[in-house]
């Protein structure tokens, strides 16, 4: 299967390495020193289950990689306009595009059903550029669970012992393209089990992003170090429960309580990606991860007082760093 990973950061590099390890014909859209290192010496993944080096084709120019069977988009939300501008050469008549990302996705209300069906979200797809470039019929939704970091150009360090990419058709159906992509991920050791509903998984991941992301951004510490303070830990539990209440209001109730979710993270010595972005001076996913979920909360009449405060403070931190520009 010919698969291009668009965005070779920590997550993209890990996913690409696993796909190549499993035998897929993998290519990468990357840039800068990371691209040069991959082209020169290959892509190294250091994980608890072993270290391995693969040699996927890599280029800053999608046109150099050609038409794909599938594209997996792993960029951060602020980089989506660059995906819209560059993805066309990768797309043939039957190419599927899986958006494996954090936050509320641009396609969330497409094929959603009910009165909100088809509602556009310009906060995460300004001007409908992705919709025009990719098309909703190509689109597959996805979330990823993998604690990893680019420790040097061409090298991804994976801290998590269990790594998963959950993907699903946005209308809830099964399809041959979905099965083929799951098999390719599984073959390299990136688990991709069957799931019932991709929107439920979007909210499950968001519970973690919203419960820990704003607080770690403010503390500048890892999840475990932040939660060691009992006051911070209780705030995280409240925030996670508020996120779950938004999910429930949109018909996606969650299995775990906020306390259960936070207790699972008490030993996680990892900095959330949004804190990594702050420390490295990269554009931050404030809109998709923090502010848009709260807009949905207002839409559904869900009270989120703890999230409101911490997201407001986190937004101020991102603005002060010059790494977040509110949508016009």
Q: How many residues would you count in the chain?
A: 328
Structure tokens at 72: 């997996």
pLDDT at 327: 85
pLDDT for 106 equals: 97
Q: How confident is the model at residue 8 (pLDDT cuts 50, 70, 90)?
A: confident
pLDDT in the model for residue 270 = 87
CATH topology of 2-195 equal to that of 200-320?
no
Task: Copy the structure tokens of residue 68.
Answer: 């794909």
Q: What is the mean pLDDT of residues 176-202?
A: 96
Q: Could you confirm whether 205 is annotated as catalytic?
A: yes
Lowest average pLDDT, out of 171-185, 264-278, 283-297, goes to: 264-278
CATH 1.10.1040.10, domain 200-320, yes or no: yes
* Residue that is written with structure tokens 């073959």 in the block: 187
What is the per-residue pLDDT across 231-251, written as a single tens digit (0 to 9) for each?
999 999 999 999 999 999 999
Long-range contacts of 266-271 (CB under 8 A, 24+ apart): 266/224, 266/227, 266/233, 267/224, 268/147, 268/222, 268/223, 268/224, 269/159, 269/222, 269/223, 269/224, 269/225, 270/147, 270/159, 270/160, 270/222, 270/223, 271/216, 271/221, 271/222, 271/223
CA–CA distances in Å: residue 192 to residues 18, 66, 92, 186? 12, 26, 24, 6
CATH placement of domain 2-195 = 3.40.50.720
Give residue limits of the domains in the chain. 2-195, 200-320
pLDDT tens digits for range 146-172 = 999 999 999 999 989 999 999 999 999
Asked whether the beta carbons of 307 and 239 are under 8 A apart, the reply is yes
Structure tokens that stand for 173 in this block: 């159906």
Query: Whose structure tokens read 């931050």?
Result: 284
Strand order of the sheet with strand 148-152?
A: 50-54, 43-47, 155-158, 148-152
- pLDDT tens digits along 246-272: 999 999 999 999 999 999 999 888 899
Model pTM score: 0.94
pLDDT band at 35 (very low <50, low <70, confident <90, very high): very high
Residue pair 157/271 in contact (Cβ under 8 Å)? The answer is no
76: pLDDT strictly greater than 80 = yes
**What gap in Å lies between CA 319 and CA 315, rounded to an integer?**
6
In the set 111, 205, 255, 271, the catalytic residue is 205
> What does the pLDDT look like over 106-150, one tens digit per residue?
999 999 999 999 999 999 999 999 999 999 999 999 999 999 999
Closest by CA position to 20, among listed 42, 48, 47: 42
């Amino acid at each position: 299967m010919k698969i291009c990973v668009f965005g070779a950061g920590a997550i993209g590099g890990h996913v690409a390495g696993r796909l190549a390890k499993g035998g897929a014909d993998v290519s990468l859209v990357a840039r800068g020193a990371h691209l040069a290192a991959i082209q020169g010496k290959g892509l190294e993944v250091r994980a608890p289950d072993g270290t391995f080096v693969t040699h996927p084709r890599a280029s800053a120019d999608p046109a150099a990689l050609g038409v794909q069977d599938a594209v997996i988009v792993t960029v951060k939300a602020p980089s989506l306009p660059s995906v819209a501008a560059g993805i066309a050469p990768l797309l043939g008549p039957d190419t599927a595009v899986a958006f494996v990302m954090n936050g509320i996705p641009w396609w969330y209300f497409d094929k959603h059903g009910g009165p909100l069906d088809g509602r556009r979200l310009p906060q995460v797809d300004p001007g409908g550029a992705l919709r025009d470039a990719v098309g909703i019929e190509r689109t597959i939704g996805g979330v990823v669970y993998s604690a990893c970091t680019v420790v040097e150009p061409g090298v991804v360090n994976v801290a998590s012992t269990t790594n998963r990419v959950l993907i699903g058709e946005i209308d809830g159906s099964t399809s041959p393209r979905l099965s083929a992509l799951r098999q390719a991920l599984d073959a390299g050791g990136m688990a991709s089990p069957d799931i019932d509903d991709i929107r439920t998984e979007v909210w499950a991941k968001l519970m973690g992003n919203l419960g820990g992301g704003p607080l770690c951004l403010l503390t500048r510490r890892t999840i475990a170090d932040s939660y060691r303070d009992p006051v911070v830990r209780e705030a995280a539990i409240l925030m996670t429960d508020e996120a779950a209440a938004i999910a429930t209001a949109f018909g996606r109730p969650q299995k775990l309580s906020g306390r259960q979710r936070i207790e699972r993270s008490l030993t996680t010595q990892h900095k959330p990606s949004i804190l990594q972005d702050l420390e490295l001076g990269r554009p931050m996913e404030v809109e998709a991860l923090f502010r848009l979920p709260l807009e949905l909360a207002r839409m559904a009449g869900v009270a989120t007082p703890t999230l409101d405060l911490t997201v407001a403070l986190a937004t101020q931190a991102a603005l002060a760093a010059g790494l977040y520009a509110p949508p016009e």
